[in-house]
Amino acid sequence: MTHPGRTCPHCGAAVSSPFCTSCGRSVETAPLFAPQGEQRTAPQPAVHPRGVPPRTVPQPVVPQAVVGQRPPGGTGARTLLLRAGIAFAALIATGIAGVFGYEWWRDRPAMQALDAADAAVVSVSRPLGEAVSLEDVSAAAAAAPAAAEKVSDVLADLSDDETTLAERVRPVLQTQQAFLESLAPFEGLGEESLTVWGTTLPSVQESLTELVVARRSLGSYDEGAAARVRDPGNALDHAVEVVGSSAAESLRLQLDELLVDLAKVRTTREAAVLGERADPLADAAAAAEAGQQGTDLDVLTSLGDALGAIAALDGMDPETLQRWGPARTVLTAATAELGVSSEDAAESMSAWVSQAQQKMDAWRAEHDRAESVRSSATSRLDTYAASVRRTLRQYDRARDATSDALETAELDDYTSSYDVEYAMEEGVLTRRDLLDDLESLSVPSALATTHGGLEAVLGSGVEAMRTGEQAVEDWNLCYLDCAETYRDTGGWRAFSTRSGEISGEFDRALKAWDTALNQALSQANAVPLPAMPKV
């Protein structure tokens, strides 16, 4: 209700509402008393226009006895009390109206903040609720950061407001800001970036839930204030449907293209490329499932299964042809649910895989045979070489033992020649056993010559040791015309000379044997293996 052209009966200011903006009092109740210094006058009778006397109304006939009972002056105590009661009621009404007017003025900033924040949310939610394509959803999300900044500014302006309503409003504004900020990643949303949709939508839904809870909490305090906050949930649900239907339409077309190319695959390289193309599409289908329900969810799930089956071919090589079997089972089941025929493409792919597998099986059998030959040859050589090296290590220890015994005899004049004779005898027996070990080995033909060289050196060592042993033994039994020591005998000098020669012969024989062994191993490893077929 407006009051154009009226003035406040209390302060005289111009007013256009039920309450005066200057004094805050109601304009509906006239002052009960005249201003101080002015005499209140009784209402004057109206003057009839044109000087015509007013029409008289017949007065009821009142008995004289009754008239005589009225108090003098025409008014009584009851009348005065009635007027005082009316004035008191008017005063109370004016006070109540003033209280409500003050509360309206005090809560006005919080209400304005709600309106401003709601307008910012609607600037995003309305185009989101009217979207018909992924591009429309992206465009709506692009406006979200600026809208969130507006809500942030509103929050800052309300930060100093300590009213109860402001305290209740601030959580609502904060959740509205968080909701708008959560939409920002959807800017640039398209068929190639649907993964962002799947990863971001849960946080958007969570912020929307927090907004609904904050709005409900505000409504428990002030339903009128809560009514100013519009729920963007319907707009988000619409965007979810748009994303699902747009993704399903696009992915179905791309699945048809992949099935056409699947029927043309003739190499593992072509299969791997096809799987590489399908892989991001399968991820997009899974991402688009976020928030979907009912038929849209079923369609996207089937599309994801079909595309995932083709994506399983990514990285396929001749050794992984068996991937196709399980992939075909999933593909045919998923496309049947979509009402898409994949039998021709699957049958063509299966025929090629079968032929490729036969080639690989034949190659693998031939390869295994060649590998067996190579492995057998190298294994025999390794076993033989290990036996020879073990014997030669023992030969080295025997030479060291003989050398140590002779050096001790040289330094100790009291060493008995019988001890030397015993050491020489032990050396002969040890070398003879080692020679027998060499001669007992199964020698590969490629090492027969060099192996014989090692045997000859050990045989020479046995003979030289026998010569030295015999010289010591003869000297021990000599009683007439004997050399001063066994070292001065001709037999011992022959042993010493031959020992030096044998050391050089052994080194040369061992080097020749190592060379021959390495050559034999190289030849064994050089056994040709069949090349893998190109499939």
In this prediction, residues 69-94 reach a mean pLDDT of 57
DSSP assigned state of 168? H
Q: Which residue has the higher pLDDT, 105 or 316?
A: 316
**315's torsion region: left (phi>0), alpha (psi -120 to 50) or beta?**
left
Amino acid at 436: D
Q: Which residue has the higher pLDDT, 79 or 139?
A: 139
* Dist CA 351 CA 346 (whole Å): 9
Task: Give Cβ neighbours of residue 362 (< 8 Å, ≥ 6 apart).
Answer: none
Amino acid at 49: P
DSSP assigned state of 9? T
Asked if pLDDT for residue 224 goes beyond 50, the answer is yes
Asked if pLDDT for residue 213 goes beyond 80, the answer is yes
Asked if pLDDT for residue 66 goes beyond 60, the answer is no
Q: What is the pLDDT of residue 68?
A: 42
Q: What is the pLDDT of residue 71?
A: 47
Q: What is the pLDDT of residue 405?
A: 83
Which pairs with CB-CB distance under 8 Å and at least 24 residues apart come from 344-352?
344/263, 345/259, 345/260, 345/262, 345/263, 346/262, 348/262, 348/263, 348/264, 348/265, 349/262, 349/263, 349/265, 349/271, 349/324, 350/324, 352/265, 352/266
Give the closest residue to 201 by CA, choosing from 249, 244, 264: 244
Q: How confident is the model at residue 78 (pLDDT cuts 50, 70, 90)?
A: low
> Helix, strand, coil % (nearest 5) of the chain?
75, 0, 25
Asked if pLDDT for residue 46 goes beyond 70, the answer is no
Sign of CA dihedral 462, 467, 471, 474: positive
In this prediction, residues 360-375 reach a mean pLDDT of 88
Average pLDDT score over the chain: 83
Q: What is the pLDDT of residue 372?
A: 87
Give the closest residue to 520 by CA, choosing from 382, 408, 330: 382
Q: What is the pLDDT of residue 124?
A: 93
Task: Give Cβ neighbours of residue 140 (< 8 Å, ≥ 6 apart).
Answer: 124, 125, 127, 128, 131, 183, 186, 239
In this prediction, residues 169-179 reach a mean pLDDT of 93
* Dist CA 272 CA 529 (whole Å): 26
Model pLDDT for residues 434-486, shown as the tens digit of each residue:
999 999 999 998 999 999 999 999 999 999 999 999 998 888 888 888 888 88
Q: How confident is the model at residue 145 (pLDDT cuts 50, 70, 90)?
A: very high
Model pLDDT for residues 7-22, shown as the tens digit of each residue:
777 677 776 666 666 6
Model pLDDT for residues 107-125, shown as the tens digit of each residue:
888 889 899 999 999 999 9
In this prediction, residues 182-197 reach a mean pLDDT of 88
Percent of the chain scoring above 90 in pLDDT: 49
Q: What is the pLDDT of residue 23?
A: 65
Model pLDDT for residues 257-304, shown as the tens digit of each residue:
999 999 999 999 999 999 999 999 999 999 888 888 888 889 999 999
Q: How many CB atoms lie within 10 A of CB 336?
A: 14
